[in-house]
Amino acid sequence: MTQSFPEEVLEHVFSFLTSHTDRNAVSLVSKSWYDTERWCRDHVFIGNCYAVNPRVLTRRFKEVKAVELKGKPHFADFNLVPEGWGGCVDPWIVEMGRVYSGLEEIRLKRMEVTDEGLEMVAKGFGKLKVLVLASCDGFSTDGLAAVAANCRNLRVLDLRECEVEELSCHWLSHFPDSFTLLESLNIACLSSEVSFSALERLVSRSPNLKTLKLNRTVPLEKLSTLLQRAPQLVEFGTGAYSAEGLDAYSSLAEAFSGCKKLKSLSGFWDVIPAYLPAVYSVCSQLTSLNLSYATTQSPDLSKIISHCHNLQRLVVLDYIEDTGLETVATSCKDLKELVVFPSDPYVADANVPLTEQGLVSVSQGCTKLHSVLYFCRQMSNSALVSISKNRPNITCFRLCILEPRSPDYLTLEPLDTGFGSIVENCKQLTRLSMSGLLTDRVFEYIGKHAKKLDMLSIAFAGDTDLGLHYILSGCDSLRKLEIRDCPFGDKALLANASKLETMRSLWMSSCFVSFGACKLLGQKMPRLNVEVIDERENLNSIPENVPVEKVYIYRTVCGQRFDMPDFVRIMGKDKADVYNLS
């Protein structure tokens, strides 16, 4: 079939498509579109590093400038994935180093990154501008030193929520004195001191610095120095926000008032309330405020928030209490995203008056609210119904009631109708995390109504396999499903096997999925990897009808992994089960 458009025209049209889902869709239209698209795609997103492999990437795309890779499943954030599972980025770096000499941006999430890998990055990608490591581990400050010393074009070094082995405080000094391009530096996750003089010199010679997120060890007394050197900052994260006496106050307040472009504040470990007013001059500019380390009481939190009329994103601890959230509802009319973390998650009784009422208030007062992550100790169906009716525009709703299987505290019934109301009224819902007492009925509602749902997280919920069946057969847009401690077994999984190929991944831990079912699924579905993650001894002698500890199922074009530890098996790919090849 001859093509109606010349390739150059097609390429030009494609250049307007920036989202990877659009690019993927376009590549499926025809062989010629596929070929044209692959030659001109320069930003590649790989949501599961084991869905493909490095050679598949470099064979298909030839001139990549930006790559984004994700490794471990989301529940790794909560220690459900044993250490050593995988997701190491080194093989990717080796292969990309071979082919993509012009690589400018690397973004990794939940991957294992080694110092050797960082050294390869530093020496292999001379044009590297952006390095974002989110929730990664496996590397030390030595690797960072290599990056600092060699990446002459670096603009962004963002270590968000990484676990770094901190061997030396001097890695920052490895940025050469001639290096002046830095735009963004996030070291908030480091727990040890960094050399302040090196930091100060780096900030002083970086006129384009827009984002600076310090770690806890940078003392408050030094903040004004840094802010004076970088009044152009847009995002700033403080260190420990406390000092002895109030001597540092006036210079700090003055320094903040000089930051005319500041839009985002975070940090605030160990807050001394007397120092909070130092930020008042910038509050009305703020669109994002993260006080989730600030262990101050509600009145102090409310005071600062009441100044933030343009706030779009708020992250706080439950110290804000229902009264503080009422202040949010009246003061922050542009609020889009609310996150409330628990201050004392392991204590049974509430010691802070934060209830479902706080969330209801915000849902009433903040008409633009679309994303919620809320930890609390009690919930009712009526509150959930109200929230869903107040805010049908919610797209992300994550509710964690701290005690598993908590019923509606007013009626002692399951929270099925409440969550059912959420999925029925919030028609654009793409992400949902549920908690509390839930029966199969809630899954019936979800399967029936949540047609745009992309990611679903379930814990301690449901009665029978029917629950899982409703989800897998009803949620048309579902791509990521993660389940723990639910009585779901083999039947729903096997009956919906083909659905799994339309999803990125399914995680099930502490459920009733048996070894035999995993093997069968792996045998019947060649394009799925059915990974059983099980740390028990003598796995070979456990009968097939016994449930596995954890199973992680994902679609892949590559089949076998070759880097599995002994507690990971990919089931059903050989005549017998596939065991670790060591």
Partner 1 sequence: MDGRYSRKEEMHPQLLDLNHMITDERNWFAKKDDHNLGDEKKLELRLGPPGVEDWSVTDAHKNYKSSQKASHKRSAPAPVVGWPPIRSFRKNIASSSSKQAPVSDSQNAIVSNNEKMVKNCQKGFFVKINMNGVPIGRKVDLNAYDTYEKLSVAVDQLFRGLLAAQNDTSGVRINGNHEHEKPITGLLDGNGEYTLVYEDNEGDRMLVGDVPWHMFVSSVKRLRVIKSSEISNISRLGNKQEKSKV
Ranges within 439-458 binding partner 1 (CB under 8 A): 457
Q: Which residues, at least 6 apart from 520, have a Cβ–Cβ distance to it below 8 Å?
A: 494, 572
Q: Tell me the closest approach of the beta carbon of residue 435 to partner 1, in angstroms.
A: 8
Work out whether 559 is an interface residue with partner 1 (CB under 8 A): no
Work out whether 82 is an interface residue with partner 1 (CB under 8 A): no
Q: How far apart are CA 201 and CA 216, in angstroms?
A: 19
Q: How far apart are CA 393 and CA 348, in angstroms?
A: 33
Among residue numbers 141 through 180, which ones bind partner 1 (CB under 8 A)? 142, 161, 167-170, 173-174
Closer CB to partner 1, residue 7 or residue 463? Answer: 463
Work out whether 52 is an interface residue with partner 1 (CB under 8 A): no
Q: How many CA atoms lie within 13 A of 47 on its CB side?
A: 12
CA 10 from chain center: how many Å? 34
Q: Tell me the closest approach of the beta carbon of residue 138 to partner 1, in angstroms.
A: 12
Work out whether 295 is an interface residue with partner 1 (CB under 8 A): yes
Paired tokens of 28: 């499926």
Q: Which of 4, 21, 346, 562 binds partner 1 (CB under 8 A)?
A: 346
Contact segment (CB under 8 A) with partner 1 among 44-52, 276-284, 324-332, 404-412 equals: 404-412
Q: Which of 63, 403, 535, 566 binds partner 1 (CB under 8 A)?
A: 403
For every residue of 386-435, DSSP letters joined together read HHHHH-TT--EEEEEESSTT---TTT---SHHHHHHHHHH-TT--EEE--
CA dist 414 → 137, 222, 432, 461, 529 (Å)? 39, 52, 17, 10, 35
- Strands 130-134 and 163-165 come out as unpaired
Paired tokens of 528: 């799925």
Q: Which residues, at least 6 apart from 574, have a Cβ–Cβ distance to it below 8 Å?
A: none
Among residue numbers 357 through 386, which ones bind partner 1 (CB under 8 A)? 375
Q: Which of 87, 407, 418, 420 binds partner 1 (CB under 8 A)?
A: 407
List the x/- string, 499-528, binding to partner 1 by CB under 8 A: x--x---------x-x-xx--x---x----
Work out whether 490 is an interface residue with partner 1 (CB under 8 A): yes
Q: How far apart are CA 490 and CA 537, in angstroms?
A: 23
Q: Which of 101, 153, 473, 580 binds partner 1 (CB under 8 A)?
A: 473
Closer CB to partner 1, residue 152 or residue 448? Answer: 448
Contact segment (CB under 8 A) with partner 1 among 3-11, 59-67, 123-131, 537-545 equals: 537-545
Q: Tell me the closest approach of the beta carbon of residue 444 to partner 1, in angstroms.
A: 9
Contact segment (CB under 8 A) with partner 1 among 85-93, 97-105, 124-132, 464-472 equals: 464-472
Q: Which of 8, 9, 31, 411 binds partner 1 (CB under 8 A)?
A: 31
Closer CB to partner 1, residue 300 or residue 322? Answer: 300
Contact segment (CB under 8 A) with partner 1 among 227-235, 254-262, 295-303, 304-312 equals: 295-303
Q: Tell me the closest approach of the beta carbon of residue 46 to partner 1, in angstroms.
A: 18
CA dist 88 → 49, 277, 564 (Å)? 9, 45, 11
Q: Which of 86, 124, 273, 392 binds partner 1 (CB under 8 A)?
A: 273
Closer CB to partner 1, residue 130 or residue 520? Answer: 520
Query: Which residue is listed with tokens 């210079």?
Result: 251
Work out whether 226 is an interface residue with partner 1 (CB under 8 A): no
Work out whether 114 is an interface residue with partner 1 (CB under 8 A): no
Q: Tell me the closest approach of the beta carbon of residue 221 to partner 1, in angstroms.
A: 8
Residue 49 burial class via C-beta count within 10 angstroms: exposed 0-12, middle 13-18, buried 19 and up:
buried
Q: Tell me the closest approach of the beta carbon of residue 512 to partner 1, in angstroms.
A: 4
Paired tokens of 229: 């050197």
Closer CB to partner 1, residue 148 or residue 209? Answer: 148
Work out whether 535 is an interface residue with partner 1 (CB under 8 A): no
Among residue numbers 325 through 344, which ones bind partner 1 (CB under 8 A)? 341-344
Closer CB to partner 1, residue 208 or residue 546? Answer: 546
Q: Tell me the closest approach of the beta carbon of residue 21 to partner 1, in angstroms.
A: 12
Q: Which residues, at least 6 apart from 120, have a Cβ–Cβ distance to it below 8 Å?
A: 90, 93, 94, 97
Q: Which of 252, 329, 360, 437 binds partner 1 (CB under 8 A)?
A: 437
Identity of the residue numbered 510: S
Q: How far apart are CA 97 and CA 124, in angstroms?
A: 6
Work out whether 94 is an interface residue with partner 1 (CB under 8 A): no
- Report the C-alpha dihedral over residues 151, 169, 238, 315, rounded to 10 degrees: 80
Among residue numbers 183 through 212, which ones bind partner 1 (CB under 8 A)? 189, 191-193
Q: How far apart are CA 356 and CA 362, in angstroms?
A: 10
Q: How far apart are CA 82 and CA 552, in angstroms?
A: 13
Closer CB to partner 1, residue 75 or residue 85? Answer: 75
Work out whether 232 is an interface residue with partner 1 (CB under 8 A): no
Q: Tell me the closest approach of the beta carbon of residue 403 to partner 1, in angstroms.
A: 6
The closest of 377, 389, 381, 364 to 419, measured between CA atoms, is 381
Q: Which of 7, 200, 270, 563 binds partner 1 (CB under 8 A)?
A: 270
Closer CB to partner 1, residue 17 or residue 167? Answer: 167
* Residues in binding contact with partner 1, number by CB under 8 A: 91
The closest of 256, 248, 188 to 218, measured between CA atoms, is 188
Contact segment (CB under 8 A) with partner 1 among 96-104, 258-266, 358-366, 497-505 equals: 497-505
Q: How far apart are CA 182 and CA 129, in angstroms?
A: 9
For the chain, what's the residue count? 582
CA dist 582 → 253, 271, 566 (Å)? 61, 51, 8
Closer CB to partner 1, residue 34 or residue 45? Answer: 34
Q: Which of 19, 367, 498, 580 binds partner 1 (CB under 8 A)?
A: 498
- φ and ψ at 98, to 5 degrees? -70, -35
Packing angle, helices 321-331 and 298-306, rounded to 10: 0
Work out whether 315 is an interface residue with partner 1 (CB under 8 A): no
Q: Which of 21, 543, 557, 576 binds partner 1 (CB under 8 A)?
A: 543
